[in-house]
Structure 1
Amino acid sequence: MEQPRVVDEPIWMRTLIGWHIVFWVLLAMTFAVSFSADFSTGRRIVYTIAIVVAGATYQFVGLPAITSRRRSQSYSYRIVLIACLMVLVALYPQSVFLMFIASAQMWLLCERIREAAAFSVLLVVGVGTAQLWSAGWGWDAFWSILPWMAVSLVVSLLFGIWIERVITQSEQRAELIRELQSARDELAEAHHSAGVMAERERMAREIHDTLAQGMTSIVMLAQTAAVELQRGGTDGAAARLAAIEDTARENLAEARALVAAFTPVALSEATLTEVLRRQAERFAAETGVDVRVSLDLPDEEVAALPQAQQVVLLRSAQEALANVRKHAAATQVLITLGISDDGVWIEIRDDGTGFTPSAAEFGYGLAAMRGRVEESGGSVQVESAPGQGTRVQVLIPAEDA
């Protein structure tokens, strides 16, 4: 759902049309009602001129001052408005209800509360003086007008300060919303980037664990076949070529599954136990290494494992066998799949040359295996030493198994 857009203009500007309409309506009503008064021709002319001056000053000075926020224009407009209102009230006291819009504009055009309060005081004193002049400058008129002046001033100040606080809070909230929206956009971008990186790492692991290893097997089989052809061993070469074809077909199927983000082809066609045994047989046929698969849990329990965990276990075994092929120079490999109180685990042990585990932390294959296992909540243990073979164990905790 689209979020509301935060407008970067003052809240007064969003209601400017409403204030514009109210000003002209009140000015027109005041002028229309004034015809009910018994004015002399001179007073009528002065009153009309005051109305026209107030309207023209608002149109050509007040509005530009509101939109441009120029202090000189705002000062000029407010002084002229107060002067016009004093004339109108002095000639026709009922015009006093124009103070409603005039008082609001005193605050509309201010930048500080003190400035608005000063103009509000000037407005009330000016209009009160005009009323007093209209009443004949008597003390009785003064004391009757004074309460009204005081009430008008207090209401104007309280209302103006309250509105100013509301506007300040609104602007602060608008700024907070802008910051939240900016943070949300940055977070979404970060999540997107993280998702892209995670997907790239996943694809890299999948390619390394399937296609790259298959290509390595094809290269080694092709080299072996070439040697046997040179020696005249056509039967052995034919067997190697058949193995190359099988590996290439499997790689092609894995590539299609990878593009479609499916489960590994092998697991979609057989159980994990069967796939591990096929991998062991193929590895033995390609390398001459004796590979055995041992199960410490029934086949039905293996089949009951979640598909995602079976994929992790299979990929871990494939990576371990790839490392044996590349580095171990082993004669025997034992793959054991079991379950314990800690969870389901797979162990690949060889009798090869071994290595220093800390040096292997920088290899991509082991790092990819560790990343895949840790994503599933599991852990990887590597035990090895030069000349003493290697043991790799992958454990998925019981709560996830």
Structure 2
Amino acid sequence: MELGSGPYAEPVWTRTLLAWHIVFWALLTVTAVVSLLPNELTGREHVVLLALLAVLGTAYALIGSPAMTTRRRPPSHGYRVIAILCVAAVVAIYPQAVFLMFIASPQIWLLADRARDGVLFSLLLLVGVGTGQLYGAGWTLSAFWNILPWMIISLVVSMLLGIWIDRVIAQSQQRADLIEELESTRDELAGAHHSAGVMAERERMAREIHDTLAQGMTSIVMLAQTASVELSRGGATAVAGRLSAIEDTARENLAEARALVAAFTPVALSEATLTEVLRRQAERFAAETGVDVQVTLDMPDDEVASLPQGQQVVLLRAAQESLANVRKHAGATSVLITLTMSADGVGISVSDDGTGFEPSAAAAGYGLAAMRGRVEESGGSVQVESAPGRGTRVQVLIPSAGQESS
């Protein structure tokens, strides 16, 4: 039988071997000491008896005990044969040592792979001990009839003890295997959770980079291109304004990058209210693109400021992503950003009068997918209304804290 490698793979009996060792050596020592007391044994019988006990002890130390630990079948067979012969011979010389059978019988069952194996060696042990007793009694018929009931009782007790030991070992091993399997499953789940956490963190970082650094870089590129065109036309004053805008955008990007590394709230929200940040974003977007961007509130400004920080971040990122899509795809002339409060929660709407698109075709875009992922993590939803030539409207709704928890 092969053993596993986990902490519970070790057979249950090997965790109780110390007690078996103590019992074995104690009974072996008692037998040797008692045999040396005044009795009917001759000197030669004393020597043979002690030699047999020495052989039994040596076999146990070199073969039996290691076999119990490793469950190697051939050595365990050899040890049981030696134990049966030694115990039978000791009983033949010194019948009072019959109690040695009670240490040999459990060992037989402990080393048995199957019940049939234990029964076979138990029968051999009882036949050997019974033969030894008959030899000590002079091979008389009366001695046979006296020994027979004792042998039958011993056989029954041995069978019951052996079956009990076999079941205890089997149940304990099953329990140990189950515990090992559960621990293995727990480790696998822990690894899966870790991998999921890593992937979630990577996705979060990707969204943050897309919503902050990538959009800032896009603004810088567009401003630089505009400045280059104006420089070729000789508009030094306009170029200076563009360069100033590039510097401001680069500084904001740098601050966002530092906040991202430190996992802080967006820099803009840490220095102003959400309404102020949205209006600032609208002004800069209008200056960069020439698109008219308006910000309106369908809720008091103080209620906007009292929104949880996490909701403000989601609303701000949704507005930034919507403006980025307007810049790249819409070709719009005006954009309306509206913050709303309703019984369903707080929301933001970004509408433009651009070229529009088929909403189903936007599924492949990372920006909209990232926006949906961020909003859904907050328990909210995203709706996109658009059609070719009819503009686009992106609506984000985030439930209130009580609704989200329920």
Q: TM-score, normalised by structure 2?
A: 0.91
How far, CA to CA, are the matches of 2:230 and 2:172 in structure 1? 84
1:170 is matched with 172
Mapped to 1, the partners of 2:334 and 2:127 lie a distance apart of 106
Q: Using a 3 Å threshold, how does the CA distance of structure 1 residues 52 and 233 change in structure 2: closer, same or farther?
A: closer
Partner of 1:79: 81
Q: Measure the CA separation in 2 of the matches of 1:61 and 1:211.
A: 72
* 8 Å Cα contact 2:110/2:165 also seen in 1: no
| Ranges in structure 1 where 5+ consecutive residues have no aligned partner | none
Matched, 1:124 2:126: yes
Letter of the 2:349 partner, please give it: E
Structure 1 position 343, deviation (Å): 1.5
1:318 equivalent in structure 2: 320
Q: CA deviation at 1:276?
A: 0.9
Q: Which residue of 1 aligns with 2:374?
A: 372
Q: Which of 22, 43, 46 is matched with 1:44 structurally?
A: 46
Tell me whether 1:22 sits opposite 2:23 in the alignment. Answer: yes
State the match for 1:150 in structure 2.
Answer: 152
Quick one: distance in 1 between partners of 2:70 and 2:213? Answer: 67
Amino acid of the structure 2 residue aligned with 1:120? S
Structure 2 gap segments, 5+ residues each: none
1:34 is aligned to 2:35? yes
Contact 2:8–2:179 (CA<8 Å) still a contact in 1? Answer: no
Shift of 1:127: 1.8
Matches of 2:246 and 2:323, distance apart in 1:
18
Q: Deviations over 1:257-306 (max 9, x none)?
A: 11110001111111111111111111111111111111111112111211
Paired residue for 1:304?
Answer: 306
Contact 1:6 1:177 in 2 (8 A): no
Note the C-alpha offset of 1:18: 4.1
Give the corresponding residue for 1:6. Answer: 7
1:193 to 195, 200, 210: 195
In the alignment, what sits opposite 2:242?
Answer: 240
Could you say if the C-alpha distance between residues 228 and 64 of structure 1 is closer, same or farther in structure 2, counting changes exceeding 3 Å?
A: closer
SS at the partner of 1:173? helix
Mean CA deviation greater in 383-392 or 166-175:
166-175
CA distance in 1, matches of 2:296, 2:368: 23
User: Matched residues in 2 for 1:249 and 1:21: separation?
Assistant: 79
Say which is worse superposed, 176-185 or 283-292, in terms of deviation: 176-185
Distance in 2 (CA, whole Å) between partners of 1:350 and 1:71 is 82
Q: CA deviation at 1:25?
A: 2.6
Amino acid at match of 2:170: T
Give the corresponding residue for 1:388: 390
Q: Deviations over 1:124-167 (max 9, x none)?
A: 23323333443455565445434432332222222221121121
> Which residue number corresponds to residue 114 of structure 1?
116
Distance 2:211 2:104 in 1: 79
Q: Which of 386, 398, 404 is the aligned partner of 1:400?
A: 404
Q: Distance in 1 between matches of 2:166 and 2:389?
A: 82
1:352–1:183: structure 2 CA closer, same or farther, 3 Å change rule? same
Rounded to whole Å, the distance in 1 between the matches of 2:69 and 2:221 is: 76
Counterpart residue type for residue 353 of structure 1 = T
CA contact (8 A) 2:88 2:128 kept: yes
Q: 1:371 to 1:98 in 2, by over 3 A?
A: same
Separation in 2 of the partners of 1:331 and 1:60? Answer: 94
- Equivalenced residue count is 398
Is the contact made by 2:8 and 2:177 (CA closer than 8 Å) also made in structure 1?
A: no
Q: What is the alpha-carbon distance in structure 2 between the residues aligned to residue 242 and residue 64 of structure 1?
A: 84
Structure 1, residues 17-61: CA drift from partner, whole Å, max 9, x if none? 543443233212101101222322343233233323323433444
Aligned-pair CA distance for 1:13: 3.4
User: Aligned partners of 2:245, 2:70: CA distance in 1, in Å?
Assistant: 82
- Return 25-34 or 44-53, whichever deviates more: 44-53
SS in 2 for 1:213: helix
Letter in 1 for 2:176: A
Percent identity (aligned) = 71
